[in-house]
Amino acid sequence: MLGLLKVRVLRGVNLAVRDLRSSDPYVILKMGKQKLKTRVVRRNTNPIWNEELTLSVEDPALPVRVEVYDKDTFSRDDPMGNAEFDIRPFLEAVRMNLQGVPNGTMITKVVPNRQNCLADESAIYWSDGKVLQDLVLRLKDVERGEVELQLQWVSIPGARGL
């Protein structure tokens, strides 16, 4: 294991309607064989989860997959879109020796392109002694919707490390 990736699932924006007038969305994060889930936010297409999910990273080349679903009581949950992101640019920033860098310094940016699901430029920056990355992901396979996330790296004593 290299370390832990803390993913703060902040909120959904303008998610698709899957029930009569709204949806009951939740997010599933997947990386390799790992699968983590947020709570369901009832009747809301602009949900605020603000939940932290932690993935253990063994292979940094594996993408993180985000899947959004509408919770249904009597039938299978309806898909509300998905997205993937690459953690390698984030991990490159984590590897840098940033001690002494002023708080709030932007280290680099990842720009939207055809190979990623970014809806906007994604800043990787130094804050309170940590490297953070803010992401706004445009959901695929759905008519609309975005999910906002924040990444943070946690080094594990005794782990292989970066």
Assess whether pLDDT exceeds 90 at residue 124: yes
The pLDDT, as a whole number, for residue 137 is 98
Report the number of secondary-structure helices (H) and strands (E) in the chain: 1, 10
**For residues 85-93, average pLDDT:** 95
Quickly state the pLDDT bin for 25 (edges 50, 70, 90): very high
The pLDDT, as a whole number, for residue 158 is 78
The pLDDT, as a whole number, for residue 108 is 95
**For residues 116-120, average pLDDT:** 95
Query: Could you report the per-residue pLDDT of 32-52, keeping only the tens digit for each?
Result: 999 999 999 999 999 999 999
